[in-house]
Amino acid sequence: MVRPYDREEIPAVHDLAAAPTVREEPGFKQTVFRSIDQLVGFSEITPEKADSEPHTHPYEQTNLLIEGRLDFLVDGERIELTPDDAVAIPPEIPHTSRTVPGETATLLAVWPLREDRIHGTSYQQEFPDL
């Protein structure tokens, strides 16, 4: 099922550098962009980000590292991402990211629509409220 959208607002182009921050903490800043059934998270991760415990969620997540280096722990296995590396994380698989000392990383994450991030797309006029 295709969700409703405002055809008069299409095509819509948004500068994510100017979009509101949806999540910010020391060493981590994220903005999001919505399409009809997906969210894209654009994150800057710096060495100040504290290591976090692995977590799971009921949806898949695809990550693409744009710049820098980043360590991922996926289902207990450590992998290092370098620019242009992509990793798919299936639902319910424990994962977390960790910074590489001295590196700032830019990560693109793709998810289905997430209720905990959808509020960050209020700047977009092409989609009515869910």
Q: Where are the domains of the chain?
A: 7-121
Per-residue pLDDT of the chain (130 residues; tens, 9 = 90+): 457 777 787 778 888 888 999 999 999 999 999 888 899 999 999 999 998 899 999 999 999 999 999 999 999 999 999 999 999 999 999 999 988 999 999 999 999 988 888 888 888 888 766 5
Contact 61, 109 (CB under 8 A): yes
Q: How far apart, in whole angstroms, are the C-alpha atoms of residue 87 and residue 84?
A: 10
Residue whose C-alpha is closest to residue 22's, from 99, 122, 107, 130: 122
Q: Domain 7-121 carries which CATH code? A: 2.60.120.10
